[in-house]
A and B are shown apart, each in its own frame.
Chain A
Amino acid sequence: MGFFNLRADKGLMASSLSSRGQTSVEFSVILAVVLIIGLLVVGLGLFFGMGSSDISETDARAYWATQVRPLRISEMAGYHYTDGCDTGGCTYPMGEIALKIENVDSKPITLKGVIMDPTDNSYYAYKTHSDDGSDQTQWDYSTPGHLRWTNGISISPGEQTTIYIRAVNLCSDLGDAGSSTERFKNYLTLYYETPDLTGLSFRGTLPIKGPCSPS
């Protein structure tokens, strides 16, 4: 009985050791796979510029379309003027950003100005799109010394209105060093007033971002 037990114990020990070895190998394999997946995700994130230091275009659009109030930007589009103005010496701004602005409050909001970074530029507001940057009827403009428009655009609750902002640095390689004809990325401040309170503004904590299409 004792002999039998000894043999059984030996078998048990051998089997246990073998099993522990196998467990250890399986554990190592799982760990390796997880590490490889982790490295791949980090690598892809860095490659596509999706690190935490730079917000993705999707996140920026989602932020402006769903999280801000009382004025949201439900759509945004950039245009780079390719005709006439891209050879230099043109008097028109080089690009335009269209913003579809929605009032998500329960009372009318008056849009009183739009300015982006860098704030020392002039941001001209139009109510129509331009194919080449040629002048059309300008609504108003915002500069550091003239942030708010003389006449605001009243937006009813739930209403959407589109304005077109032109400036030398938007969808352009002129202006500031970071601007490009391929994509736009600008921090945006909206000036507005409600029926009860004036002098209000909203600066997004995330920029507006998107591609610049040739007009």
Chain B
Amino acid sequence: MHRRVQTDRPARAGKGQTTIDYVLVLAVVLLIALVALGLSGTWPDFALNSRNQQAVSFWRDQVRPITIPEAHYDMSDHKLYFTMQTQIDEPIVVRNMYLDTKQVSIWKYYTTGSPVVQCTSNTCYTPACTCNDALNPRRRERTVSGDLSLVGIDPGCRQNGAYARMPVWLTYYRPSEPTKILNENTTIDLVFDCQP
């Protein structure tokens, strides 16, 4: 009995070894499969797109008090064309806009005529400027940023049809309390498409 126990031990150790080998091979194969899937581009695209769609919905419908229902980056003039809409029943004045932590100038954008700058500087990189872009209650306002390349912002747009994302931070106030500066700063990036 004592001897059987002794001879059984190596067999069990061997089985344990086989299991470890099997798990190791399986891990390597899974790793190779994941790398192949990543290189093929299918899986990351789906994952990224799901994240993008959530961000689009968030900025279009959920964020308060200012939503950004649509945004497009023009790769030719390096400007972000977007709309802003207040979701409360009183006017709001957007004082500053930061994209990717850098302050940018914003312009009222009309379908006819030239855009009208809302800030004390056309570029807003130095010294920091103040914009006072008045938004009417619950109305979409067409807006365009200044040339983002001038303030060192590269959203990573390389081709039409691709999407890019950037953190957005707005400071604003209500005309009824002009000294009380409020923030709209979320952890969810603004997603926009790349226009030629």
| Chain A positions near chain B (C-beta within 8 angstroms) | 8, 11-12, 15-16, 18-20, 22-23, 26-27, 30-31, 34, 38, 52, 59, 63, 66-69, 105-107, 189, 194-198, 200-205
**Binding-face segment, B113-121, B154-162, B180-188:** B154-162
* A26–B161 CB distance below 8 A: no
Contact string, B1-38, partner A, CB cutoff 8 A, digits 1/0?
A: 00100110111011001100110010001001000100
Asked whether any CB of chain A lies closer than 8 Å to the CB of B41, the reply is yes
Q: A53: nearest residue on chain B (CB-CB)?
A: B40
User: A23-B18, A203-B159 in contact; A12/B46 too (CB < 8 A)?
Assistant: no
A52, B195: Cβ atoms under 8 Å?
no
Which residues of A have CB within 8 Å of B3? 8, 11
Q: Across the interface, which residues of B come within 8 angstroms of A105, CB to CB?
A: 70
- Measured as residues with beta carbon below 8 angstroms from the partner, the interface class of chain B is 35 or more
> Is residue B91 contacting chain A, with contact meaning CB distance below 8 A?
no
Determine which residue in A26, A105, A198 has the highest number of CB atoms from chain B within 10 A of its CB, and name it.
A26
Known: A12-B6, A52-B41, A59-B42. A19 touches B69 (CB 8 A): no
User: Shortest beta-carbon distance, A200 to chain B, in Å?
Assistant: 6
Contact A67 B14 (CB under 8 A): no
Contact of B7 with A11 in the complex, beta carbons under 8 Å:
yes
Q: What CA separation (Å) do A104 and B195 show in the bound complex?
A: 19
- Report A-chain residues with C-beta under 8 Å of the C-beta of B61: 106
> Which residue of the partner chain A has the closest CB to B22?
A30
Contact in complex: B83, A196 (CB < 8 Å): yes
Neighbouring B residues of A194 by C-beta, 8 Å: 70
Question: In the complex, how many angstroms separate the beta carbon of A147 from the nearest chain B beta carbon?
Answer: 11
Contacts of B13 in A (CB 8 A): 16, 19
If A59-B42, A202-B193 touch, does A34 touch B29 (CB 8 Å cutoff)?
A: yes
B49 interface contact, C-beta 8 A: yes
List of B residues within 8 angstroms of A202 by Cβ: 160-161, 193
- Asked whether A198 lies within 8 Å of B111 as measured between CB atoms, the reply is yes
Tell me the smallest distance from the CB of B193 to a CB of chain A, in Å.
7
Whether B195 lies near A11 (C-beta < 8 A) is: no
Residues of A within 8 A of B83 (CB): 196-197
Q: Given contacts A12-B6, A26-B21, A27-B18, are A38 and B70 in contact (CB under 8 A)?
A: no
CB distance from A133 to the nearest CB of B (A): 30
Q: Which residue on A lies nearest to B39, using beta carbons? A: A52
How far, in angstroms, from A98 to B6 measured CA to CA in the complex?
76
Complex CA distance for A151 and B79, rounded to whole angstroms: 28
Asked whether any CB of chain A lies closer than 8 Å to the CB of B138, the reply is: no
A69-B195 contact, Cβ under 8 Å, with A31-B25, A52-B39, A198-B111: no
A196 adjacent to B196 (CB under 8 Å): no
B142 within 8 A of A: yes
Residue of A nearest to B193 (CB): A202
The contact string, 1 if C-beta is below 8 Å from chain A, for chain B 42-58, is 10011001000100100
Q: A196-B83, A203-B159 are in contact. Are A15 and B69 (CB under 8 A)?
A: no
Looking across the interface, which residue of chain A has its beta carbon closest to that of B29?
A34
Alpha-carbon distance A67/B56, docked complex (angstroms): 12
Q: Contact at B25–A22, with CB atoms within 8 Å?
A: no
Pair B160/A8 contact, Cβ less than 8 Å? no
Is B81 in the interface zone, CB < 8 Å from A? Answer: yes
What are the residues of chain A within 8 A of B140 when measuring CB–CB? 195-196
Nearest to A20 among chain B residues (CB) is B14
Determine the residue in chain A with the shortest Cβ distance to B70.
A194
Contact B29 A205 (CB under 8 A): no
Residue of B nearest to A7 (CB): B3
